[in-house]
Amino acid sequence: MTLDCDLYIDGEFDGIIHSKKLITIGKSGKVKGEIFTHHLVVQGLVEGSIDSNRLEIMAAGTVRGSILSGELIIEAKGHFEGESKIKNSSNATTNKAVNTVTDEKKKQA
Protein backbone atom coordinates (compact mmCIF):
# COMPACT_ATOMS: atom_id res chain seq x y z
CA MET A 1 0.00 0.00 0.00
CA THR A 2 1.42 3.37 -1.03
CA LEU A 3 -0.17 6.55 0.36
CA ASP A 4 0.23 10.33 0.18
CA CYS A 5 -2.15 10.95 3.09
CA ASP A 6 -2.43 10.22 6.81
CA LEU A 7 -3.49 6.69 7.77
CA TYR A 8 -5.18 5.37 10.92
CA ILE A 9 -5.34 1.60 11.45
CA ASP A 10 -7.56 0.20 14.19
CA GLY A 11 -7.91 -3.27 12.68
CA GLU A 12 -5.48 -5.85 11.29
CA PHE A 13 -3.13 -5.35 8.36
CA ASP A 14 -0.51 -7.70 6.92
CA GLY A 15 1.84 -6.29 4.28
CA ILE A 16 3.95 -3.29 3.32
CA ILE A 17 2.94 0.35 3.87
CA HIS A 18 4.69 3.34 2.26
CA SER A 19 3.57 6.83 3.31
CA LYS A 20 5.05 10.30 3.33
CA LYS A 21 2.64 11.35 6.07
CA LEU A 22 1.55 10.26 9.56
CA ILE A 23 0.57 6.65 10.22
CA THR A 24 -1.20 5.87 13.50
CA ILE A 25 -1.76 2.33 14.74
CA GLY A 26 -4.73 2.56 17.12
CA LYS A 27 -5.16 0.63 20.37
CA SER A 28 -6.96 -2.20 18.55
CA GLY A 29 -4.60 -2.07 15.57
CA LYS A 30 -2.29 -4.95 14.66
CA VAL A 31 0.19 -4.66 11.82
CA LYS A 32 2.56 -7.37 10.56
CA GLY A 33 5.03 -6.43 7.86
CA GLU A 34 7.07 -3.40 6.87
CA ILE A 35 6.26 0.27 7.44
CA PHE A 36 8.07 3.12 5.65
CA THR A 37 6.84 6.55 6.74
CA HIS A 38 7.75 10.03 7.89
CA HIS A 39 6.01 9.73 11.29
CA LEU A 40 4.60 6.63 13.01
CA VAL A 41 2.58 6.54 16.23
CA VAL A 42 1.98 3.09 17.75
CA GLN A 43 -0.80 2.59 20.29
CA GLY A 44 -1.44 -1.04 19.31
CA LEU A 45 0.92 -3.74 17.98
CA VAL A 46 3.48 -3.69 15.18
CA GLU A 47 5.52 -6.78 14.28
CA GLY A 48 8.12 -6.41 11.55
CA SER A 49 10.38 -3.63 10.35
CA ILE A 50 9.92 0.12 10.60
CA ASP A 51 11.75 2.86 8.70
CA SER A 52 10.56 6.22 9.99
CA ASN A 53 11.98 9.68 10.64
CA ARG A 54 10.01 9.82 13.90
CA LEU A 55 8.58 6.85 15.83
CA GLU A 56 6.44 7.19 18.94
CA ILE A 57 5.51 4.12 20.97
CA MET A 58 2.67 5.14 23.26
CA ALA A 59 1.82 3.68 26.70
CA ALA A 60 -0.33 0.85 25.28
CA GLY A 61 1.88 0.34 22.22
CA THR A 62 4.15 -2.59 21.39
CA VAL A 63 6.76 -2.89 18.66
CA ARG A 64 8.54 -6.18 17.95
CA GLY A 65 11.17 -6.16 15.23
CA SER A 66 13.69 -3.81 13.70
CA ILE A 67 13.59 -0.02 13.74
CA LEU A 68 15.46 2.50 11.61
CA SER A 69 14.52 5.95 12.90
CA GLY A 70 15.87 9.45 13.30
CA GLU A 71 13.89 9.96 16.50
CA LEU A 72 12.56 7.23 18.79
CA ILE A 73 10.19 8.05 21.65
CA ILE A 74 8.93 5.36 24.03
CA GLU A 75 6.39 6.46 26.63
CA ALA A 76 6.23 4.82 30.07
CA LYS A 77 4.56 1.40 29.70
CA GLY A 78 5.34 1.34 25.98
CA HIS A 79 7.13 -1.83 24.85
CA PHE A 80 9.90 -2.44 22.33
CA GLU A 81 11.65 -5.73 21.58
CA GLY A 82 14.20 -5.93 18.81
CA GLU A 83 16.95 -3.96 17.16
CA SER A 84 17.07 -0.20 16.71
CA LYS A 85 19.36 1.75 14.39
CA ILE A 86 19.62 5.52 14.29
CA LYS A 87 19.30 7.53 11.08
CA ASN A 88 21.55 10.55 10.87
CA SER A 89 20.50 13.82 9.26
CA SER A 90 21.57 12.72 5.77
CA ASN A 91 19.27 9.65 5.99
CA ALA A 92 22.21 7.25 6.16
CA THR A 93 22.43 4.95 9.13
CA THR A 94 25.13 5.11 11.72
CA ASN A 95 27.22 2.06 12.43
CA LYS A 96 25.98 1.96 16.00
CA ALA A 97 23.15 -0.50 16.56
CA VAL A 98 21.22 -0.70 19.80
CA ASN A 99 19.84 -4.07 20.82
CA THR A 100 17.31 -3.58 23.56
CA VAL A 101 14.18 -4.77 25.26
CA THR A 102 12.20 -1.95 26.84
CA ASP A 103 9.50 -2.99 29.25
CA GLU A 104 8.28 -0.81 32.10
CA LYS A 105 7.96 -3.80 34.43
CA LYS A 106 11.59 -4.74 33.85
CA LYS A 107 12.67 -1.17 34.58
CA GLN A 108 10.93 -1.29 37.94
CA ALA A 109 12.44 -4.67 38.90
Parse the chain into domains and list their residue ranges.
2-108
pLDDT score, position 104: 45
Distance, CA of 93 to CA of 29 (rounded, Å): 29
Q: What is the pLDDT of residue 87?
A: 87
pLDDT at position 88 is: 77
CA nearest 53: which of 63, 35, 40, 38?
38
Residue 88 CB neighbours (<10 A): 9
Residue 57 has what pLDDT?
97
Cα torsion angle, 46, 51, 52, 53, sign = positive
Q: What is the C-alpha radius of gyration for the chain, rounded to an integer number of angstroms?
A: 13
pLDDT in tens, the chain (109 residues): 999 899 999 999 999 999 999 999 999 999 999 999 999 999 999 999 999 999 999 999 999 999 999 999 999 999 999 999 998 755 444 444 454 454 444 455 4
